[in-house]
Amino acid sequence: MKHPSKVYSGLVYLAPSGDWAWRIFCDSEDVVRGAGYAGAQEAEADCREFLNDYDGQAEIVVEKPAFGLGP
């Protein structure tokens, strides 16, 4: 299921619920998500597993939470 002309990337982040989640993008379009992880490493591992189906070399960005900022 590889698409060499497309650019895939992954994002791991702390959701408002307090759980970790991930999203996979293709050319900035959200294509698949996962949520409900207790930790960033677990979320990143699952994101990588799904992302490998699209592009094994794609980058995953892990957003670190900025506690105390925002509402």
pLDDT bracket for residue 69 (50, 70, 90): very low
Q: What is the structure's pLDDT at 4?
A: 59
Higher per-residue confidence, 71 vs 37: 37
Q: Where are the domains of the chain?
A: 8-62
| Fold topology of 8-62 | Double Stranded RNA Binding Domain (3.30.160)
- What is the tens place of the pLDDT at every residue in 22-60? 999 999 899 999 999 999 999 999 999 999 998 888 899
Number of other CB atoms surrounding residue 62 within 10 Å: 16
CA distance 34 to 23: 7
Interior angle at CA 48, CA 47 and CA 54, nearest 5: 100
pLDDT digits (tens, 9 = 90+) for 4-17: 588 999 999 999 89
